[in-house]
Amino acid sequence: MNEVIEKLDFTVAIPTYNGAKRLPQVLDLLLKQTGIEKLDWEIIIIDNNSNDNTNEVIEYYQKSYSQNISLKCFLEKKQGIAFARIRAISEARGEFIAFVDDDNLPANDWVSQSYNFGKEHPQAGAWSGQIHGDFEVSPPENFNRIQAFLAIREHGLEPYLFDADNLRLPPGAALVVRKKAWCESVPEELVFKGRLSKLMVSGDDTEALLYLHKAGWEIWYNPAMHIDHKIPHWRLEKDYLLVLARGCGLCIFQLRLINAKNWQKPILLIKTILGNLRRVLQHLIKYRGQFKSNLIALFEINFYWASMMSPFYSLRWKLDKIFKKAITQND
């Protein structure tokens, strides 16, 4: 006899890797949520191969919960945030699924604001709110120009639809999705798996959202949802930021192909190369002699350069895939 799975209103899914020190603050804030008295919801943690005492922390909270909230943990052995989120989708029982990273600190009404928005916008496949930076050290001058790359989003007080056609989309952190929309629209296997290699190629968040957009679902900004994103000092250091800039750039062309028609692809190729070449040259002229002292300008030119090279990275990825498939068939 098949087990009947109880459907819930809302799931908070927390992907984590070695999050023993970060998880308690997140879980404590989720336990203090307001306006959820009539909500049937759960918290699930996706442990992505942690080797610290994450499991002990989770067991402690499972035993100490006094509220009627289900807290479960699932081990996802495939490394990468994309695999962790896909596992969360399969395990979640909620109509809406919220991805909260283990360094995201939700406001006390974040769950209720997220749930209410989804109910009020039935065509919304995904929605996200304001993400504020909680910095361990002061960010560099003009950091606001690149803060979106670190999942900090403060876009004003009015709701609006994100511009998916121009890749202006929210990050996967603090994102809420409609489970039905995801299951019907997003492939089981995504091209981008998360920042796994030394290149730290990103794009997994945007890739999933583009498939939702392609299927006709709306993607919204809801300013009533507030989360603080903890930014440790090392995420503001030069070495990390430059790798991040290149990783965010290398995925650009492959992402643009998702919603492109065949006749548009050669045009996109030319625009990606020439458009970013123009930006690189403009930055070289504008900031000549300043790149050693201006970290933000250096970040931007690395992002433009990697974006310009992204068609070649996409070609390399496709060739690797063909090569691996050929080896598998021969075996």
Q: What whole-number distance in Å separates Cα of residue 145 and Cα of residue 6?
A: 45
Q: What is the mean pLDDT of the chain?
A: 92
Percent of the chain at pLDDT exceeding 90:
83
pLDDT confidence bin for 201, thresholds 50/70/90 = confident
Tell me the one-letter amino acid at 241.
Answer: L
pLDDT confidence bin for 317, thresholds 50/70/90 = low
The domain segmentation of the chain, as residue ranges, is: 8-236, 253-330
Q: 311-330 burial, b for 16+ CB within 10 Å, e for fewer?
A: bebbeebeeeeeeeeeeeee
| Whether pLDDT at 330 is above 60 | no
Q: Which residue has the higher pLDDT, 257 or 199?
A: 257
Look at 3-7, 40-44, 78-82, 215-219 and tell me which has the smallest mean pLDDT.
3-7
| Whether pLDDT at 123 is above 70 | yes
Phi, psi at 111, each rounded to 5° = -65, -50
**N-to-C CA span, the chain:** 39
Among the listed residues 94, 100, 87, the one whose alpha carbon sits nearest the alpha carbon of residue 70? 94
Choosing among 3.40.50.2300, 3.40.50.1820, 3.90.550.10, 3.40.640.10, the CATH entry for 8-236 is 3.90.550.10
Strand blocks (E) in 112-194? 124-135, 160-161, 175-178
What does pTM read for this prediction? 0.92
Q: Summarize pLDDT for 268-277 with one digit per residue, the tens.
A: 999 999 999 9
Report whether 160 contacts 130 (CB < 8 A).
no
pLDDT confidence bin for 196, thresholds 50/70/90 = low
